[in-house]
Amino acid sequence: MGHGRGTGDRSAFGAGGNPSSAYRPRRLRSTPAMRRLTAETRLHPADLVLPMFVREGLTDAAPIGSMPGVQQHSLDSFRRALAEAAEAGVGGVMLFGVPETRDAEGSQATDPDGILNVATRVAIEEVGDELVVQTDLCLDEFTDHGHCGVLAKDGSVDNDATLERYRDMALAQAEAGSHLLGLSGMMDGQVAVVREALEAEGHRNTAVLAYAAKFASAFYGPFREAVDSQLVGDRRTYQMDNGNRREALREVELDIAEGADIVMVKPAMSYLDVLADVAATSSVPVWAYQISGEYAMIEAAAANGWINREAAIDESVLAIKRAGADAILTYWAVELADRLHATGI
């Protein structure tokens, strides 16, 4: 028998190998209007969540050197930035607090007058009817050792002792008015403990976002500057190993079973395969976090004239949406929302 093209190939190509009139996918790419009409993936401003850093003791916003365009906010600049986010129509804001003092237990995390809880009350007052006000529930910003939990005598992170701190943090944040708690510490059982505490104290409408598949990543570097992290070493005993894809699904399943309302994959760009896996199987909404290193790489390359900045931003966020994210945390949320209003992607 010969080894020429089969019947299907002959129907697709005419004489000389030219495509037949039946096989011209480029028809649907012919104009901007046609591409817009036939797009399979779309972004909307409400798909975007803006992470924000509020630092205790500042009198004005302070730039973050490794994240051009991102700031640590004073309470005054925070109010202005909240108004901009609401005007842009983003879906919500995720708040991180940077305290002046730290200790081994992260005491400021549960102090009603601690910076994160104060910022939460400000956000609720300013934009609580317009945006979903979200709070990072983790100890790393508040501890003098920079880990996401309480340390045991041998220097390891004590999972169960940390859960007690998370329980108290959850109640403090809920009482400050947070609509959604972002459990980012990757402690075993954290969702169950927090959900139980919220229910017991009457905070039944406070939602829980589980950072279910959070990987140990080199791309967190600029975030460490943003929160003035005191970390020495790494977090590989509790954050996920970079090569583990199946384990991510197990983590997600456990968090959903414990009562998570939403699950997160973090980082986004390096884990789009994991994001797609989770999106294909999750019974709850799936979010992804476009983290500080992803942001910094694009900003640095654009500053050097190596890439088109706006096109790279749009493509990177669209890729996360295409992989299955229902919402995306990104430091470009307001800029991108404004552009979407103007042009659409």
Catalytic residues: 214, 266
Side chain identity at residue 277, one-letter code: D
- Give the residue carrying structure tokens 């299955």: 324
**Token output for 70:** 């991102």
With vertex at residue 191, the alpha carbon angle to CA 188 and CA 194, rounded to the nearest 5 degrees, is 120
Count of alpha carbons within 13 angstroms of residue 326, beta-carbon side: 14
Q: State how far the Cα of 292 lies from the Cα of 17, in Å rounded to an integer.
A: 48
CB 98, CB 52: distance < 8 Å? no
Rounded CA-CA distance 75/69 in Å is: 18
Cα–Cα distance measured from residue 253 to residue 212, given in angstroms and rounded to the nearest whole number: 9
Rounded distance, CA 66 to CA 315, Å?
22
Task: Tell me the β-bridge partners of 19.
Answer: 13
Residue 209, beta-bridge partner list = 182, 262
Sign of the dihedral defined by the CA atoms of residues 209, 213, 215, 220, in that order? negative
Q: Which amino acid is at 15?
A: A
In the chain, the amino acid numbered 126 is: E
Distance (Å, rounded) from C-alpha 75 to C-alpha 118? 9
- Name the 3-class secondary structure at 125: helix
Give the C-alpha separation, 115 to 57, whole Å. Answer: 9
